[in-house]
Structures are given as structure tokens and as C-alpha cells.
């Protein structure tokens, strides 16, 4: 493989969304709320909300706005309809304040020396920038859904990475903890690396340890650096 | 001013294009060529080449490709039509290898702690990423012409910064050494800071020391950090 750039799924692959959202829900709504259940419910509405944009039912809408809208439904279903608007706005920022998995910063520190690193996430640019500044993620640039106004797995998102990095698709490696994301990237000619993240769903659903269709399967970003010779 | 993000013109404002292009021309074409004259001629074709895209005469074309095309004319006019294609391709990368002015890295080191920093350049993403990795420029993300497929001073470029950073235009400060760039940014509601770069054109043309229409006029990024309290 002549890989020159690595592009990353973010939620679940780089950062622990469930742990971070649970922490912020607990902080903002108090100990009487089942915070992890609320995080799971909120995340469960993620794909359907993006599908409304992908289908054309909604015009382009950044992820922060989709999160804000789906939060209203989550709170209503949890009997928390009295939550004030300013608390709802602050809850949406939970997705900007997610911590990376423990191997991410050491692994990226090695990978960045050899490769261009960019997120290729459904998160909007401001969300990804806030997250990176808080966590110290050393992105070279921010690619992803909002840049092309299409959500993954629309092909426009994957195609934008080699186009904007001025590389052939086969020199771009997509890194993700989700086999469907990797399959969509592969169908556009990108190389693929699967990262096993057994704790993404709090142990309720354990993803496969490997993706047999990926070019690489690893269990950490440090292992990815070793496998890529970085 | 409630400024949250700074967006920067790059060629001339952040980096010394004339010094860097002259150095690369000398390295690749040898001492018999008037390298700084060639750099000036090449830069002179910059605005006309972008105007062909802005007018619709050409479809969207990244700056690397415009540089490659105008280089052919520059070399022909300089009696260097025999320059091989691989040398021409390498010459185009001169624009990826420009050094920042001496105050840039110390100034950005202070500014980045308080503000989101992004280029808002006509350079394509791969060019800006290569330049930043080589020079150590700490961008939080890469904004600019290629993201919206419009060249400055088209309003789409300026409008994209507050939109993608999820800020009101008045919270975004455009930093540039060129009063026309700042005027276009101001017309879209951005704040403006003028940086005096007396050596951009090798002393042949000296720009004004201040821009009376800008919110701030400074002579270095370090002064900018002081003035903004960073």
C-alpha cells in the first residue's frame, strides 16, 4: 500500500461518545436521570436524523442542529420535557466534549509524523474543532460531511478526501470502528483499516474483533502506527 | 469586539511567497535564471488566472493547477520553454514550501490559546496542509477557496468562515496584508486586522503601513496577539 493520508471516523473510533455524553448528561440533568440510557437513546436517533437529510426530506442540516432536534424527543420520552432551552443547548455541546480512547493520542503522535491526518466524520466543523482543541487531537485539516453537505455513507463524503488532499483514492486510508463505514469507503476506492472498539456501546453490543474485508484490522491506534511502519 | 476565531490570508500575510519561490526556482533552474524576476512574473499571473474561474470562463480549478498552467507561459516568456515536465511539476510545489515571516510562529503560538485559527486562502487544501506541516503552522482546520469552489474576493469564501465555525460574522476576524481582501471580508460582516508586510514584494512596492478602515493595524502577529489580549 502506498498510503499518504489517514482519514478517521470520529464518534466511536477516535472518541468515546457514550462515556462523554453520559458524563455531561449527569452533570447537567443531575443524578436522578439514567444518563447512560439517555445517551444510548440520543445516539439511537443519530442515523434516522441523518437519513432525513440523505433522503432529501430535510435540506442540509449540520449535526449540532440534528442533535438539538432529536434531544427534544429524547427528553420528552424520558419525562424530562420541562428541561429549559439553555440546558438543552448546553447538552448539545456534550458532543464537542468527548474524550479520546486511551491509545488515540500516543498513536496519532506517531502517525502524524508519517501521514496527513484528517477526520472524515459526520460531525460539523465547529464540533470537530472544539473537540480537537479540548482533547489535543493533531489534525492537519478537517474534512467530512459538512464540507460537502452530505452525510456518510453518501459517496460524496468519501470522494472528497482524495480530491481535497490531491491524492489517488488508493493513497487514502479510512480508519473506522464500523464495518459499514469502511465498506462505503472501500466502494469509492479508499484503503480501509478497522479498529476494534469493544467498549463503544458500553458492552451491550460487542462489535467483531476483525473486519475480514479491510486491509488491516487493529485493536488500537498504536498498533495501527506499528502496522503502517510509522 | 467579541472575536472567537481568526482567519488568515496566507500568501504574503503568513508566508513570504517571493523569497520561497525565488529559492525554489534557483534550486531547480540554476543560477543563470533571474529567479526573483521569474517569481514576480509568476505571481503577476495569479489574479488573472483566478479571474478566469471567478468569471465562469473556467470551471472550478484548484490553485496548483492554475499555477501549473501559468508557469508554462512564464517559462515560455523567459526563454525557458525547454524546461522538462517533471521540473515544472516540481516548481509548482514551490508554493507548498514557503517560509513564514519571523513573527508568525511566535505570534500564532500565543493566538492559538485564545482563538480558533484557520487559513482563509486561495491556496488549495493540499497546498495549505503541506505548507503547515513543513512550517509548523498550528491551524485548527483549513478553510478557504477550495472548500467552497470560489476564489476570493467572491463573497462565498468569506461567508464560509462564520458558517463552518458556527459563529456570527462579527466574531470572526480576518487577518491580511492586503486592503482589498480586508474590504471584501468587511463587506460580509467580518472584523478585520491589517498586517503591514513591507517585504512582500521585495521592496519594489511598499504597501501602506496602516489600513484606516480595518479594526486593527499591526506590524506583526506578535503585536496582533498583544492587541487582542492573547
- List chain B residues with CB under 8 Å of A129: 116, 140-141, 165
A-B CB pairs within 8 A amount to: 53
- In chain A, what is the straight-line distance between the N-terminal and C-terminal CA atoms, in Å? 13
ipTM (interface pTM): 0.97
The count of C-alpha atoms lying within 13 angstroms of the C-alpha of A112, restricted to the half-sphere facing its C-beta, is 19
Q: Which residue of A has its CA nearest to B125?
A: A164
Q: Model confidence at A54, in pLDDT bands (50, 70, 90)? A: very high
Looking at CA atoms only, how far is residue A129 from chain B in angstroms? 6
pLDDT of residue A213: 98
**Spatial separation of the C-alpha atoms in residues B15 and A105, rounded to whole Å:** 29
- Which residues, 6 or more positions from B68, have their beta carbon under 8 angstroms from its beta carbon? B88, B89, B92
pLDDT on residue B1: 83
Chain A: nearest CA to B176, how far in angstroms? 21
User: Do B52 and B103 belong to one domain?
Assistant: no
The residue written with cell numbers 488568515 in the block is B8
For the stretch A127-137, pLDDT in tens is 999 999 999 99
pLDDT digits (tens, 9 = 90+) for B99-128: 999 999 999 999 999 999 999 999 999 999
pLDDT band at A175 (very low <50, low <70, confident <90, very high): very high
pLDDT classification of A165: cutoffs 50, 70, 90: very high
Q: Can you give the pLDDT at residue B133? A: 98
Distance from CA of A16 to the nearest CA of B (A): 21
A223 in the same domain as A182: yes
pLDDT at B130: 98
Domain encompassing residue B182: 5-16+98-227
Cα B90 from Cα B46, distance rounded (Å): 18
Q: Do A124 and B166 touch (CB under 8 A)?
A: yes
> What's the pLDDT tens digit per position in A104-163?
999 999 999 999 999 999 999 999 999 999 999 999 999 999 999 999 999 999 999 999
Statement to judge: residues A64 and A119 lie in one domain: no
Q: Are A166 and A209 contained in the same domain?
A: yes
Which residues of A have a CB under 8 Å from any CB of B?
62, 64, 116, 124-126, 128-129, 132-133, 139-142, 146-147, 164-167
What are the phi and psi torsion angles at B213 (to 5°)?
Answer: -85, -10
Burial (CB count within 10 angstroms: exposed 0-12, middle 13-18, buried 19+), residue A183: middle
Q: Does A89 lie in the same domain as A121?
A: no
In the DSSP assignment, the letter for residue B169 is G
Q: Model confidence at A166, in pLDDT bands (50, 70, 90)?
A: very high
- Rounded to whole angstroms, what are the CA distances from B15 to A56, B85, B105, B143, B203? 43, 27, 11, 17, 16
Of B64, B141, B146, the CB nearest to A142: B141
* From B125, B132, B139, residue closest to A165, measured CB to CB: B125
If asked whether residues A150 and A163 sit together in one domain, one would say yes
The domain boundary residue, chosen from B96, B111, B135: B96
Tell me how close the Cα of A223 comes to any Cα of chain B, in angstroms. 23
Cβ contact B62–A140 (<8 Å)? no
Element (H, E) at B6: strand B5-8
Q: What pLDDT shows up at residue B216? A: 98
Q: Span A11-31, mean pLDDT?
A: 98
Looking at the 3D structure of chain A, how many domains does it have?
2
CA–CA separation, A144 and A131 (whole Å) = 14
Residue of B nearest to A138 (CA): B140
Could you tell me the end-to-end alpha-carbon distance of chain B, in angstroms, rounded to an integer?
A: 13
The last residue of a domain, from among B96, B112, B139: B96
Write out chain B's pLDDT in tens, 230 residues.
Answer: 899 999 999 999 999 999 999 999 999 999 999 999 999 999 999 999 999 999 999 999 999 999 999 999 999 999 999 999 999 999 999 999 999 999 999 999 999 999 999 999 999 999 999 999 999 999 999 999 999 999 999 999 999 999 999 999 999 999 999 999 999 999 999 999 999 999 999 988 899 999 999 999 999 999 999 999 99
CA distance B5 to chain A (A): 11
For position B203, what pLDDT does the model report?
A: 86
User: Is A173 found in the same domain as A163?
Assistant: yes
Using CA coordinates, name the residue in chain B closest to A126: B165
- Among chain B residues, CA nearest to A113: B133
Task: Give the max Cα distance, chain A.
Answer: 55
Find the CATH number of the domain harbouring A183. Answer: 3.40.50.1000
Rounded Cα distance, B203 and B199, in Å: 5
Q: Provide φ and ψ at A155, rounded to 5°.
A: -65, -25
Pick from A62, A132, A141: which is nearest to B142 by CB?
Answer: A141
State residue A28's pLDDT score. Answer: 98
Amino acid at each position: 500500500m502506498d498510503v499518504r493520508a489517514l482519514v478517521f471516523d470520529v464518534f466511536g473510533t477516535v472518541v468515546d461518545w457514550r462515556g462523554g455524553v453520559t458524563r455531561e448528561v449527569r452533570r447537567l440533568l443531575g443524578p436522578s436521570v439514567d444518563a447512560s440510557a439517555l445517551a444510548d437513546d440520543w445516539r439511537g436517533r443519530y442515523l434516522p436524523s441523518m437519513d432525513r437529510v440523505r433522503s432529501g426530506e430535510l435540506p442540509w442540516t449540520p449535526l449540532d442542529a440534528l442533535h438539538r432536534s432529536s434531544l427534544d424527543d429524547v427528553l420528552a420520552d424520558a419525562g424530562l420535557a420541562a428541561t429549559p432551552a439553555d440546558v438543552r443547548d448546553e447538552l448539545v455541546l456534550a458532543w464537542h466534549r468527548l474524550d479520546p480512547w486511551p491509545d488515540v493520542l500516543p498513536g496519532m503522535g506517531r502517525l502524524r509524523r508519517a501521514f496527513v491526518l484528517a477526520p472524515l466524520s459526520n460531525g460539523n466543523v465547529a464540533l470537530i474543532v472544539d473537540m480537537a482543541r479540548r482533547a489535543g487531537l493533531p489534525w492537519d485539516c478537517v474534512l467530512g460531511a459538512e464540507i460537502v453537505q452530505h452525510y456518510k455513507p453518501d459517496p460524496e463524503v468519501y470522494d472528497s478526501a482524495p480530491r481535497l488532499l490531491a491524492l489517488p483514492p488508493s493513497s487514502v486510508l479510512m480508519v473506522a470502528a464500523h464495518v459499514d463505514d469502511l465498506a462505503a469507503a472501500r466502494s469509492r476506492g479508499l484503503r480501509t483499516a478497522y479498529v476494534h472498539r469493544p467498549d463503544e456501546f458500553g458492552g451491550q453490543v460487542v462489535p467483531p474483533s476483525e473486519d475480514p474485508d479491510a486491509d488491516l484490522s487493529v485493536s488500537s491506534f498504536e498498533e495501527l502506527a506499528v502496522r503502517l511502519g510509522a
